[in-house]
Copies of this chain bind each other. A is one copy, B any other.
């Protein structure tokens, strides 16, 4: 895989900037418009699932769209204005056009007293409601007067939209990359993941791939549930997966393990992070978070983890107007993309070989694979890597298993395996799932 171009961080940040103003939700035109912006980079296939469709225990809700929303005081000033920030409206608010007292309005106003300057983000997808989110300072300044309250939205039969981008590889086994795209103007939680996924997909498009890759751009929860319900028969093809989110903040990388806990993706991501030379965190699986909740539900139990920077809920900007374009950094987006690239490279190159010399080492020297002058104190890493590959290539250990046991970065173990393979000292165990007809 090509290493990161210098300008890829700023490019991703620019894409986030273009996505930022749109008011997204789990359905509606904001979601469609966002996919259209991503389609400028990769040819995402757009799916529409009609309102009322049953997906496991859930039902596709009515489609929500919004034009405008505001609260005017008695002087005619907009004290809350959707056109200033789409966070101001409770996401999925039903339409309203009414004058009312502050007392009547207050149960529909949401603020964060502990962060009095920021607008919080709130939703009410599955219970009809309307409301406004605003800074606590603004809320406190509202006078006891009569307000004009307008939400020019619609909640009506329509469809749920999601995007899918499939890259066929040599084998039918899939790697799933899933990103939620249903939040309005929130950068780290939502837009950073969309940008990194899109650029990762773009890179993979031009490459020779062993695995097939399935990129999903979906509304959170209902989106993964819908996709799983519509693709139940092919879910078994997903061998590894990652949920992408919160990949633009300046914090360290964090890996949340799959429910399985020790799947190849879990070992691979941790291997990459351990050898990165950087601080990182690993968290055990829990059934709270993003769409890994659905992929890791017991009936699927897929090998899907989540690779983020600072996880959801652990940064104060989370779900507030402070999760904005200043909060996410080009270099962080680039570093996240690079980490994903390394994980995928590892998965692509991880094979299981059978040494053709199970009994005693083969003579590396006569093949020019070994320093010809013996008696030296230290074995270079390349030679040690060859010895590890030969010793553990009994059919039960993948290259990643070998790298882990040897405590040697995967790249060295892989390079050693290539050299040995070229000298016919290794055979690959069996390919995974070749395409039929091939």
Q: Which residues of A contact B (CB under 8 A)?
A: 55-58, 91, 120-127, 129, 221, 224-225, 228-229, 232, 259, 286-288, 293-294, 296-301, 313, 318-319, 355, 357-363, 365-366, 372-379, 384, 387-388, 390-394, 406
Residues of B with C-beta under 8 A to A372: 124, 126-127, 129
| Partner of A375 from B122, B225, B388 at Cβ < 8 Å | B122
**Complex alpha-carbon distance, A122 and B359, angstroms:** 27
Cross-chain contact A297 with B358 (CB below 8 angstroms): yes
The answer on a CB contact under 8 Å between A361 and B293 is yes
CB of A57 within 8 A of CB of B319, answer no
The reply to whether A294 and B360 form a contact with Cβ atoms under 8 Å apart is yes
Assembled-state Cα–Cα distance A406/B229 (Å): 27
What CA separation (Å) do A300 and B394 show in the bound complex? 11
With a CB–CB cut-off of 8 A, which chain B residues contact A300?
A: 359-360
Q: Which residues of B contact A365 (CB under 8 A)?
A: 126-127
Known contacts A287-B388, A372-B127; A355/B298 CB under 8 A: yes
The chain B residue with its CB closest to the CB of A316 is: B377
Q: Tell me the minimal C-beta distance from A299 to chain B in angstroms.
A: 3
* Chain A interface, DSSP helix/strand/loop, else mixed: loop
Known: A286-B388, A372-B126. A56 touches B319 (CB 8 A): no
- Check A297–B359 contact: CB distance below 8 A: yes
Q: Known A57-B357, A298-B391, A363-B57; judge A379-B120 contact (CB<8 A).
A: no
User: A373: which of B123, B318, B359, B366 is its contact (CB, 8 Å)?
Assistant: B123
Instruction: Report the Cα distance A38→B127, complex, angstroms.
Output: 60
Bound complex: CA of A319 vs CA of B362, how far in Å?
24
Q: Which residues of B contact A221 (CB under 8 A)?
A: 361
Q: Quick check: A373 and B294 within 8 Å, CB to CB? A: no
Given contacts A286-B406, A298-B355, A391-B296, contact A126 B375 (CB under 8 A): no
- Given A359-B299, A360-B229, decide whether A124 and B58 contact each other with a Cβ distance below 8 A: no
Asked if B126 and A297 make an inter-chain contact with CB atoms under 8 angstroms apart, the answer reads no
A393–B298 CB distance below 8 A: yes
